[in-house]
Amino acid sequence: MTVTEVREKKESSNRLTFPSKAFAAQSPTSGLGPFTVPRRTPRAQDVQIEVLYCGVCHSDLHLVRNEWNAFMPTVYPCVPGHEIVGRVVKAGSAVKKFKEGDIAAVGCMVDSCRKCPSCIAGEEQYCENEMILTYNSDDKVLGGVTYGGYSESIVVDEAFVLRIPNGLDPAGAAPLLCAGITTYSPLRHWNVGKGQKVGIVGLGGLGHMGLKFAKAFGAHVALFTTSPHKATDAFRLGADEVIVSTDNSAMQKHAGSFDFILDTVSADHDLNAYLQLLKLNGTMTLVGAPPNPSAVASFSLIVKRRQLAGSSIGGIRETQEMLDFCAEKGISADIELIGIQQLNEAYERLLKSDVKYRFVIDMKSLR
């Protein structure tokens, strides 16, 4: 067999697929409904996963409705889902970390260039060439776009598959793959720990995980909220105090006292009100993504050499570290389990913040 024939055979084998039931949006206004996606036959380095649970992220809603068109236009049909926990049903011949029957997970990305400085450092989320997202990204194997976890199965390169430790509830672990790592990573990066005063802005899918992690790291944790009735839940989740952000006198009592503030809010709000609360060299990190640009007064930063930063998810290595930490500390997301037929209703409830604190799809409802 010639070199060309070998290459053509390899390319042909890479194109072999099998059908997988899924739920997809056909347009920004169609809602989600039954669909079938092609999954590639596992290659030597691939892991095929039967999806057991998939979290519902607010970014799923944005992408389904094409609300991030300016920088990430949605390709339809769109099958969302990047908080995936499932059972390994097939492992390729070169796979070393997984075997049939293992409980595994897939987060927000399924590949990257693996060669740039960020990838080499284990921070694939900042790949300088092209990070391949779990859905709505270029599919380098089959062509077209990637399809996410609102489906009965997914096939992913072993390098981007995570292990769910024993003792970690699979359903509660699903949101850790996005909401969990999105809050864990900045808290780790800025060395949040004992002796520090840390603020979490917002009590939602991200904020409730930020509270749990900051408390587990040993910090004194305050929740900022516009809703006083959330105090009871905040204390249950680990807050040492609750500050109503619309109460100016309550806010001023904490001026210049915080080492670190994690802002999880995705609605427009005044960043300066929180920057004023940072002490000398304090940092406020954004993980929420409001729709409009935020105005920041220069003196909010200059006066005490404060920093305003942003953070994405974490790399594969750090995400596994986070999952292991959660198993050790008994941390998982607070979830509401739904059937896939409830997705459109769940999206409407998500818009109203009517969930405590993360929807997770029980994928047996698709089978």
Alpha helix ranges (H) inside the chain: 3-14, 58-64, 117-120, 170-173, 179-189, 207-216, 231-237, 248-252, 272-275, 298-302, 316-329, 343-351
Which two structure tokens, joined as six digits, stand for 354?
């009517």
Strands 17-25 and 153-157: unpaired
CATH architecture for the domain at 179-310 = 3-Layer(aba) Sandwich (3.40)
Give the residue range(s) of CATH 3.40.50.720 domains in the chain.
179-310
Q: What is the dihedral of CA 208, 276, 273, 68, to 10 degrees?
A: -60
Nearest in space to 82 (alpha carbons), one of 62, 104, 110, 101: 110
User: What region does 321 belong to: left with phi over 0, alpha with psi -120 to 50, or beta?
Assistant: alpha
Residue with tokens 């959660």: 326
Residue 15: predicted pLDDT: 61
What does the pLDDT read at residue 310? 96
With CA atoms as reference, report the closest residue to 160 among 95, 107, 117, 123.
107
298-325: per-residue pLDDT in tens? 999 999 999 999 999 999 999 999 999 9
In whole angstroms, what separates CA 96 from the centre of its chain? 26
Q: Regarding the domain delimited by 14-178+334-366, which CATH topology (the fold level of the hierarchy) does it fall under?
A: Quinone Oxidoreductase; Chain A, domain 1 (3.90.180)
Which pLDDT tens digit goes with each residue over 67-99? Answer: 888 889 999 999 999 999 999 999 999 999 999
SS3 annotation, the chain: CCHHHHHHHHHHHHCCEEEEEEEEECCCCCCEEEEEEEEECCCCCEEEEEEEEEECCHHHHHHHCCCCCCCCCCCCCECCCCCEEEEEEEECCCCCCCCCCCEEEECCEEECCCCCHHHHCCCHHHCCCCCEECCCCECCCCCCECCCCCECEEEEEHHHCEECCCCCCHHHHHHHHCHHHHHHHHHHHCCCCCCCEEEEECCCCCHHHHHHHHHHCCCEEEEEECCHHHHHHHHHHCCCEEEECCCHHHHHCCCCCEEEEEECCCCCCCCHHHHCCEEEEEEEEECCCCCCCCCCCHHHHHCCCCEEEECCCCCHHHHHHHHHHHHHHCCCCCEEEECHHHHHHHHHHHHCCCCCCEEEEEHHHHC
Question: Where, residue-wise, is CATH 3.90.180.10 in the chain?
Answer: 14-178+334-366
Mean pLDDT by 10 residues, the chain (367 residues): 44 73 96 96 97 96 90 95 98 96 98 97 96 96 96 98 96 97 98 97 95 98 94 95 95 96 93 96 94 90 96 97 97 97 96 93 92
Please report, in angstroms and rounded to a whole number, the separation of the first and last CA atoms in the chain.
43
According to the model, what pLDDT value does residue 9 have?
46
Give the pLDDT of residue 8. 42
This prediction's pTM? 0.92
